Amino acid sequence: KKLDWIGDVPFLEKPKLSSEPEYKTYLSYVGYYIAFRLDSQSKLSLEQRCTLAHSLNKQAIPQILKGNEVPAWGILPPGLAPEVGQQVSKYKIDNKISKWNGPSEIEVAFYAKDIHTPVMEWLQSEWQKNLGVKVKLRKMEGKTYWSLLQSDPPQIFLSGSTAAYAHPYSFLSEFLSE
C-alpha cells in the first residue's frame, strides 16, 4: 500500500509510522482549548475558571499525543503568538493557584475523535490530582456535539480551530460576534 498524505494520522499509529524512514511531518496550525459557558447559566466564577486552566501542566501534551505537538500558552499557537506573550503567560502550579473553591464534581464535554480521548483523560487526571475535582467526561458524536454547542452549551467543553493560513486572524476571528 502507498499513501502520499494524510491529514490526521490515527493516534495509536503515530509511534509506528514515525519510525518509518519515509514518514515526514509538516507544520500545521491547529489549536484546541477548554471553553467555559459564560452566560447567565454559567456556574463557574472567573477565579474558578482560571484555577482550572492554570492547574494543567501543558508541557505533558507532546508525551500524551506521541507526536511533535507544541503546547500553546494562549489562544494563538507557537509561531503565530508574539514571543513576549509566551513568557508572560507561563504559569506554575503553586499553592495559591491550586486552591480549589468550586464544585467537587464537574462534567466536560468533547467530541469523539481518537486524539481527543487521551487529552481529555489527561485533563481529568490533572484536575483530580491537582485540585481534587472529580471530572466526568462526556464523549459525543461530532454532529450531536456541535449541535449541542449551538443550542445549549455545556459548562465546560473542548473546542478548537484549524488555521487555513498561518496568520493570527485565522484563530482570532473565531471570537468575533458574527
Report pLDDT for 97: 55
pLDDT beyond 90 at 158? yes
- Residue 87: pLDDT band (50, 70, 90) is very low
User: pLDDT tens across 97-150, in order?
Assistant: 557 889 999 999 999 888 899 999 999 999 999 999 999 999 999 999 999 999
Indicate the pairing of strand 134-140 with strand 156-162.
unpaired
User: pLDDT tens across 19-74, in order?
Assistant: 888 877 777 788 889 999 998 888 999 999 989 988 888 888 888 887 777 887 77
Q: What is the pTM of this model?
A: 0.79
What's the CA gap between 95 and 93, in Å, rounded? 7
